[in-house]
């Protein structure tokens, strides 16, 4: 690819800022890189690039919150690239669940091999919780040469991936395949082992564990202090999802009200619409699953009317807007800007909810402090109320002598850089340390904890990322045909009348559509570099050709006397290029300054082709993992 480190005075931090999708990703996935490789049909390379920094790439391809898409520069042109859907596309071909015969192996291992031995586990790192943070930490620790043991309180891997996310969004065979892959690296899984019940932190130390990573998630629902919360028919959202995802009976009736505006509330509402009860002990795949889907459809186990009520305006709901739209598409009624005043009942059972209209959700200082319009009460009849107003960690397993401090929010206090707690051998990450966040943030925590634990145990840092710069041969950079003309390709989904039971809703791209969508990437990691005489053998002649040819008007030549800069920009220019500081005139040798708005650049390469003296080059910047790859 080229040289590592800085090249011809190009600052790495400046280059990083010009790859917004990669910087928005908590694990720094080179999203644009794999999207472009998909456009070229180089799928295996695309998967390698997507999976290198992300041990749970196959899972994230289905459910990632995709912060990279929020930062995608294509959004300024029309809509962001469908990065998550493209990740799923390559993971379906090369991910952990794509191998022939793997699904059968996973289903066998699920009940036979995992946690079957009663022999005490031996290792140097104990991981508490088999959720995304714990799985990611175990993955990296295994590749770094450590023996990691995961203790999981339930009998399934994945934590809230399994217990909280409905199967219609994330098929369970993917979670099992991911855990199976991590187990194949030498990680030991111990299921049905709960910290604070089956063992303590001191027990782990006595067994020889030299470091402990707590990643138990946030499985405790927040309470709502209003009249009627103790009536029969009132459930907590997390409790409902846990029971539904583990196939336990949950009788809800025909009319259900879900209170909350976040992703958990949406998951609850969409799950309630599909099914309520499962009596049979059935396999997670195969003919029995198909039979149960048919049975659910025939018996209409799902509620007939589902209403989701939230404090926020519809457009400000904290849930992903795509999920809100899907919920409405499936027939869920969303009542925004209403708050529950009390839950009504008769003979000890729920009959309805009395709501009041919201005047404001936050006060003048931005603090959560809802106010309501007096006299605006209205009643929504229902059989069941499910409260999905947030969750928090259950830290009852920490004794007073644990030496682990907590935050005012009720989470474990950690150093944000190392994830170390106030106990010298204990680290914590994921929701238990930072509160509920998205999956990819938990994965990043797991990787950060693994690096810190490695330093603790060995005194050495893990292999660093590689910084590579590739200089395209003169005027060889070419954009893909019609890349700026294609609209965002919709992701295929299951028709409404077939969305029953656990049938997966989102279906994923086919190959032609994926290649079109991948070609929409603007390749932000490719930079236009304006060079001087020492590199190209010529100097800019201020012809303005690059300015004239730019289709987005993002390049401008400004005369020295017109040059002005903020104090921050002036300081950066002075440090990087030796320009005078704020309030000082530019030297007489400087006649003009080239200004380029990177946020508008579409990487067409026309400026390089137009330059008559070769002062402009196209160079790509790549920040990749050194060793820790799948």
Q: Within a 10 A sphere around the Cβ of 63, how many other Cβ atoms?
A: 21
Q: Are strands 333-335 and 305-309 parallel, antiparallel or unpaired?
A: parallel
pLDDT in the model for residue 70: 92
pLDDT in the model for residue 132: 96
Strand order in the sheet with 426-428: 188-191, 148-152, 125-128, 211-214, 426-428
pLDDT in the model for residue 274: 81
Confidence bin at 588 (pLDDT 50/70/90): low
How far is it, in rounded angstroms, from Cα 500 to Cα 330?
A: 11
Q: Which residues pair with 236 in a beta bridge?
A: 387
Confidence bin at 204 (pLDDT 50/70/90): very high
- pLDDT cut 90: percent of the chain above it: 48
In three-state form (DSSP H/G/I as H, E/B as E, the rest C), the secondary structure along 321-359 is HHHHHHHHHCCCEEECCEEEEEEEEECCEEEEEEEEEEE
Q: Which residues pair with 384 in a beta bridge?
A: 256
Q: Which residues pair with 431 in a beta bridge?
A: none
Residues in Cβ contact with 45 at an 8 Å cutoff, skipping those fewer than 6 apart: 34, 37
User: pLDDT averaged over the chain?
Assistant: 83
- Token pair for residue 275? 């099914």
Confidence bin at 194 (pLDDT 50/70/90): very high
* Domain 526-624 belongs in CATH node 3.30.70.3270: yes
What's the pTM? Answer: 0.84
Q: Do domains 104-219+393-458 and 222-391 have the same CATH topology?
A: yes
Give per-residue pLDDT as tens, 272-330.
Answer: 888 654 444 433 444 434 433 433 333 335 678 999 999 999 989 999 888 899 999 98
Give per-residue pLDDT as tens, 84-100.
Answer: 999 999 999 988 877 54
Q: Are strands 234-236 and 384-387 parallel, antiparallel or unpaired?
A: parallel
Least confident of 368-377, 404-413, 539-548: 539-548
Contact 263, 319 (CB under 8 A): yes
Fold of the CATH domain 104-219+393-458: FAD/NAD(P)-binding domain (3.50.50)
Q: Are strands 338-346 and 526-530 parallel, antiparallel or unpaired?
A: unpaired
Q: By three-state DSSP, how is residue 285 classified?
A: coil
How far is it, in rounded angstroms, from Cα 102 to Cα 530?
A: 51
Fold of the CATH domain 222-391: FAD/NAD(P)-binding domain (3.50.50)
Where in the chain are the domains? 3-7+11-98+465-519, 104-219+393-458, 222-391, 526-624
Q: By three-state DSSP, how is residue 49 classified?
A: helix
How deeply is 438 buried, as exposed, middle or buried, from its count of CB atoms within 10 A (0-12, 13-18, 19+)? middle
pLDDT in the model for residue 298: 33
Ranked by mean pLDDT, the top range of 173-177, 251-255, 392-396 is: 173-177
Q: Within a 10 A sphere around the Cβ of 508, how many other Cβ atoms?
A: 18
Q: Which residues pair with 619 in a beta bridge?
A: 471, 527
Fold of the CATH domain 3-7+11-98+465-519: Fumarate Reductase Iron-sulfur Protein; Chain B, domain 2 (1.10.1060)
């Amino acid at each position: 690819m080229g040289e590592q480190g800085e090249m011809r005075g190009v600052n790495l931090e400046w280059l990083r800022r010009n790859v917004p999708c990669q910087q928005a990703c908590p694990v720094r996935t080179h999203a644009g890189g794999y999207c472009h490789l998909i456009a070229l049909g180089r799928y295996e390379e695309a998967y390698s690039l997507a999976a290198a920094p992300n041990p749970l790439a196959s899972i994230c391809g289905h459910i990632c919150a995709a912060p990279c898409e929020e930062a995608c520069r294509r959004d300024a042109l029309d809509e962001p690239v469908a990065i998550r859907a493209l990740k799923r596309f390559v993971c379906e071909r090369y991910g952990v669940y794509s191998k022939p015969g793997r699904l059968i192996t996973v289903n066998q291992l699920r009940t036979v091999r995992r946690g079957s031995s009663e022999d005490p586990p031996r290792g140097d790192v104990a991981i508490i919780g088999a959720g995304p943070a714990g799985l990611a930490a175990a993955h990296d620790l295994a590749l770094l040469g450590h023996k990691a043991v995961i203790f999981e309180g339930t009998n399934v891997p994945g934590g809230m991936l399994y217990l909280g996310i409905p199967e219609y969004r994330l098929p369970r065979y993917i979670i099992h395949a991911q855990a199976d892959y991590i187990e194949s690296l030498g990680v030991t899984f111990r299921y049905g082992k709960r910290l604070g019940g089956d063992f303590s932190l001191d027990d782990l130390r006595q067994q020889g564990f030299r470091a402990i990573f707590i990643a138990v998630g946030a499985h405790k629902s927040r309470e709502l202090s209003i009249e009627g919360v103790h009536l029969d028919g009132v459930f907590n959202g997390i409790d409902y999802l846990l029971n539904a995802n583990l196939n336990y009976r949950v009788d809800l009736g025909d009319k259900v009200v879900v209170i909350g505006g976040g992703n958990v509330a949406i998951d609850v509402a969409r799950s309630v619409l599909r099914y309520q009860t499962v009596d049979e002990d059935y396999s997670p795949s195969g003919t029995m699953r198909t039979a149960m889907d048919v049975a659910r459809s025939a018996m209409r186990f799902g509620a007939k009317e589902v209403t989701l009520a939230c404090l926020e305006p519809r457009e400000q709901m904290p849930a992903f807007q795509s999920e809100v739209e899907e919920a409405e598409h499936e027939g869920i009624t969303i009542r925004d800007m209403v708050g529950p005043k009390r839950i009504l009942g008769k003979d000890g059972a729920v009959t309805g909810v009395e709501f009041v209209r919201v005047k404001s959700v936050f006060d003048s200082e931005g603090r959560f402090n809802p106010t309501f319009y007096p006299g605006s009460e209205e009643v929504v009849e229902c059989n069941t109320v499910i409260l999905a107003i947030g969750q928090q960690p259950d830290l009852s397993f920490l004794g007073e002598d644990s030496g682990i401090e907590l935050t005012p929010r009720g989470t474990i206090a950690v150093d944000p850089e190392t994830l170390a707690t106030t106990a010298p051998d204990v680290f914590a990450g994921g929701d238990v340390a930072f509160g509920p966040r998205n999956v990819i943030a938990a994965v990043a925590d797991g990787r950060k904890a693994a690096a810190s634990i490695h330093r603790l145990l060995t005194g050495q840092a893990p292999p660093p990322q590689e910084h590579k710069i590739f200089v395209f041969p003169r005027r060889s950079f070419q954009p893909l045909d019609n890349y700026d003309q294609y609209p965002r390709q919709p992701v295929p989904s299951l028709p409404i009348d077939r969305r029953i039971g656990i049938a997966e809703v989102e279906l994923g791209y086919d190959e032609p559509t994926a290649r079109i969508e991948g070609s929409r990437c603007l390749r932000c990691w490719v930079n236009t570099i304006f060079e001087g005489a020492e590199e190209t053998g010529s100097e800019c002649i201020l012809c303005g050709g690059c300015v004239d040819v730019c289709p987005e008007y993002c390049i401008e030549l400004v005369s020295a006397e017109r040059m002005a800069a903020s104090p921050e920009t002036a300081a950066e220019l002075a440090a990087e290029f030796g320009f005078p500081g704020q309030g000082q005139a530019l030297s007489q040798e400087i006649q003009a300054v080239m200004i380029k708005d990177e946020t508008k650049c579409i990487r067409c390469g026309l400026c390089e082709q137009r330059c008559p003296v070769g002062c402009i080059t196209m160079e790509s910047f790549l920040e990749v993992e050194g060793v820790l790859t799948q």
